[in-house]
Structure 1
């Protein structure tokens, strides 16, 4: 097996595992709650701990990869991720599981931040376009198939297998990577921008914490307001530090290039509009329709199926139409799919969601690879680790923003609908706000069990209607975000697809941007 093929296999398989691990845990939460008898907010850290570590350290991984070697950072991250997956699957207590999930996020940051840089090194020209298409398909499939694979694992072997299934794949890719991938790094790198790293990672960590906790604590709570303000202060302080650096963690002048800005916004938008909604839909199937984890995972397959064929189709289209047109079309399809989902009948089963899911999945699959190709091809190859880190950070922060921001929309819509329907039920008016927050997380049966028996049936019906109404509001927000993203891509991105795939872009930055 040659180095290029081995690199593509290792990058794609591990990239499949990373978003898979984000979504697979969502269908295991109910069984984890049953085994450890913890609160719903405590068990949410199974997802939040992974997400926060992943997002906060992505740029650190990119900087380390350019300085010490992309292969070295990638394989180190893979080793940590695999070992942490084993520890998570064997966890005897909730604290052990949450610590293991944080460790998984740390390993994932090292892997994901350097995987694109490894591909840049091995592929040029049209072959790079196709390699990025395969990479995009792997990433999309990992996220889309997460609920199905997680549901299958939980139903057949218990929640521990949602994490243990990473171990054999991780070991196999670690062996292949050690044997057949090649090292590269930035020859001009002299030292890591530690001050910039601390400011940026701190800002991302606080921002992600605010986004994941705001749906539970409320956007106006003192904790959320304080952490958001602190994140803003660190982000503002980061800018002058980076502008003074000769070798910054992030070359901020890249964002003055319209094409780089447009290509960097695309993964942010797509993660909010598609993946943010995707993470909530299984909660609807399980909470409102009563599906098992496996049934909920199967109901999500219409979102995933188009990704099998849309990636190669997107690679072929990239050679025929401009990058800005392709990215705009993909996001427009996501908006159309979200609109169809929003206007599906309340209490819809999976068949009513199938068409909207197929169209959204098609749009996502078409551009998953091209988004990365356009952004990273603008940057000199020597700084591809940094560019990979930026692109990956945009994806993960967007996914978190989608989950948190759309979660806030969900809570508001659920609270409004539940108040109007259950507000007159005896004994509930004082606790309705807290009950609505619990309902918005999908824990409908558990919330209904906590209310007085005489009104339990009426409350359960009201809660089902409120959650379905909240999902409709969330889909409408996703539609608007995707439309704005399509307009931004078409307006900002300038160069034709032949430029993004050429070898020249690896050495000549566009628009006079110096990296």
Structure 2
């Protein structure tokens, strides 16, 4: 055994453990925050829009700033940005434990998202500098496993913490993970930066963030204000303007934050479909299912967390199975098959939940977790396998942004759609009720607040409200199944012959989308 490298090996392992510890806090902040939403609403009050922002504020800030954070890490130092991100996450998590109002919770969740973007961008870039070859592959596999553990056990841990210590304990746990990472990992990191790093694309970052913010705000406000209200129309119009401005800025920039020319490659477009699919077949369920189980069906947080384990636990195993299957099948085909399984699980879950949650829902939820887990472990490798090697860094940045920003958009869209579908069902049942009261009740139900929904329409039995919500939820799952199936077809069409290690050499060109005859 070569002892000369032992101290450096030990140091690298400590750095890996620190980045994994910080990464563990991110999915806990996401899934734990979703489970805590009903408890936060009961404690601090607030309407459905404010409670929706508990999760959406975190995801919006996280997704919109991830690409910018990568640029800052290269320019100012990976260790520095990671340390700043983890410190910010730790402090905002501690502050959430003392938040006096729902507005304070929402603002601090946005601050958590900003810090999470810095921590993830700096941490992954630091790992890439610390490890090489097979060691780098193992390091990033460990990082992916950590995310899987956080997603799998986040709901259970959150339920246990809420039951025994209250919802504030969830965020204190995140602060503890951040503090451990700062204390043991950051001092052992080596600073690194890219001497040729480009300047931050301020115009691109500002317009991209503004576009995402306007779209998310408009969709969240629509269920209570109405889709035809001036505020909602104005926000969606502003989204269109900012999105167009972002595209123009990136096309004209000498070194753009997002190189839109990569979308000329059909396989690259196909890879972006995979995170979109997992957003709609998996990620959104980590939020809407706990809201249903706890806020509408009356489960306590612990039992809801155990029930959620059926959909999240497969993430601990299935990505490794998918990696093994690549010896015999293409990654694209495995991903497509997984999405078909997830679509079937979504359709079956709609039937299983028609009369309320129970044992019948476990099988479909397992199918969804297994189906989503197959592309989950392959997407990152595919994102760099379908473009020239010289553009792999940009491809990874675009893919990460598509994944994280897509999650925030998907949450906003699905929440608004569930509220709209519930409102349609309630209007059919409550023909004499005021439209405004029905819209408010539907928005409350979609946010997992049965008690306040009943207060909006006095005299209406809880069972009537639940029945309308269950029917709307079934239609929502059918729609998610259709979206997932379409994404599966796209994966088969674009990626069925792509293997994770099939990346093209520098200068090799794929057929652009505009010129494709297939």
Instruction: Give the structure-1-normalised TM-score.
Output: 0.88
Q: Which moved more, 1:155-164 or 1:441-450?
A: 441-450
Give the corresponding residue for 2:442.
436
- How big is the shift at 1:271? 0.9
1:309-342 deviation line (CA, Å, top 9, x unaligned)? 1122122223432121122122222112111112
1:8-54 deviation line (CA, Å, top 9, x unaligned)? 43443333321321221223233323433433433433223222222
- How big is the shift at 1:382? 7.8
Q: For 1:358, what is the secondary structure of its paired residue?
A: helix
How many angstroms apart in 2 are the aligned matches of 1:208 and 1:182?
Answer: 38
- Alpha-carbon spacing, 1:492–1:371, altered in 2? closer, same or farther (3 Å): same
- Alpha-carbon spacing, 1:305–1:224, altered in 2? closer, same or farther (3 Å): same
How many angstroms apart in 2 are the aligned matches of 1:89 and 1:509?
Answer: 52
2:375 aligned with 1:367? yes
- Alpha-carbon spacing, 1:380–1:60, altered in 2? closer, same or farther (3 Å): farther
Is the Cα–Cα contact under 8 Å of residues 346 and 368 in structure 2 kept in the other structure? yes
Is the Cα–Cα contact under 8 Å of residues 18 and 180 in structure 2 kept in the other structure? no
- How big is the shift at 1:299? 1.3
Match of 2:27 among 10, 13, 19: 19
Q: For 1:431, what is the secondary structure of its paired residue?
A: helix
2:249 aligned with 1:251? no
How many angstroms apart in 2 are the aligned matches of 1:128 and 1:405?
Answer: 37
Give the corresponding residue for 1:470.
472
Q: For 1:499, what is the secondary structure of its paired residue?
A: coil
- How big is the shift at 1:512? 6.5
- Alpha-carbon spacing, 1:102–1:412, altered in 2? closer, same or farther (3 Å): closer
Q: How many aligned residue pairs are there?
A: 503
Within a 5 Å distance, the mapping from 1:141-180 to structure 2 comes to 141-180=149-188
Q: Structure 1 unaligned runs (5+)?
A: none
1:342-401 deviation line (CA, Å, top 9, x unaligned)? 222522323111111111111222222311122145567887664443222212222223
Q: Structure 2 unaligned runs (5+)?
A: 1-8, 513-518
- Alpha-carbon spacing, 1:137–1:56, altered in 2? closer, same or farther (3 Å): same
Give the corresponding residue for 1:87.
95
Give the corresponding residue for 1:275.
283
- Alpha-carbon spacing, 1:435–1:93, altered in 2? closer, same or farther (3 Å): closer
- Alpha-carbon spacing, 1:270–1:217, altered in 2? closer, same or farther (3 Å): farther
Q: For 1:320, what is the secondary structure of its paired residue?
A: coil
Give the corresponding residue for 1:497.
500
Provide the alpha-carbon RMSD of the alignment: 2.8
- Alpha-carbon spacing, 1:364–1:91, altered in 2? closer, same or farther (3 Å): same
How many angstroms apart in 2 are the aligned matches of 1:46 and 1:112?
Answer: 20
How many angstroms apart in 2 are the aligned matches of 1:189 and 1:39?
Answer: 44
Give the corresponding residue for 2:397.
389
2:220 aligned with 1:201? no
- How big is the shift at 1:143? 3.3
- Alpha-carbon spacing, 1:211–1:117, altered in 2? closer, same or farther (3 Å): farther
Give the corresponding residue for 2:3.
none
How many angstroms apart in 2 are the aligned matches of 1:438 and 1:45?
Answer: 14
- Alpha-carbon spacing, 1:104–1:270, altered in 2? closer, same or farther (3 Å): same
Within a 5 Å distance, the mapping from 1:439-450 to structure 2 comes to 439-450=445-456
Within a 5 Å distance, the mapping from 1:219-298 to structure 2 comes to 219-298=227-306
Q: Which moved more, 1:430-439 or 1:157-166?
A: 430-439
Q: Which moved more, 1:79-88 or 1:2-11?
A: 2-11
Is the Cα–Cα contact under 8 Å of residues 79 and 190 in structure 2 kept in the other structure? yes
How many angstroms apart in 1 are the aligned matches of 2:213 and 2:150?
Answer: 24
Q: For 2:377, what is the secondary structure of its paired residue?
A: helix
Is the Cα–Cα contact under 8 Å of residues 414 and 467 in structure 1 kept in the other structure? yes
- Alpha-carbon spacing, 1:324–1:356, altered in 2? closer, same or farther (3 Å): same
Give the corresponding residue for 1:353.
361
Give the corresponding residue for 1:188.
196
How many angstroms apart in 1 are the aligned matches of 2:132 and 2:327?
Answer: 14
Q: For 1:50, what is the secondary structure of its paired residue?
A: helix
Match of 2:484 among 482, 485, 498: 482
How many angstroms apart in 2 are the aligned matches of 1:512 and 1:247?
Answer: 22
2:303 aligned with 1:300? no
Q: Which moved more, 1:126-135 or 1:44-53?
A: 126-135
Instruction: Give the structure-2-normalised TM-score.
Output: 0.88
Q: Which moved more, 1:294-303 or 1:58-67?
A: 58-67
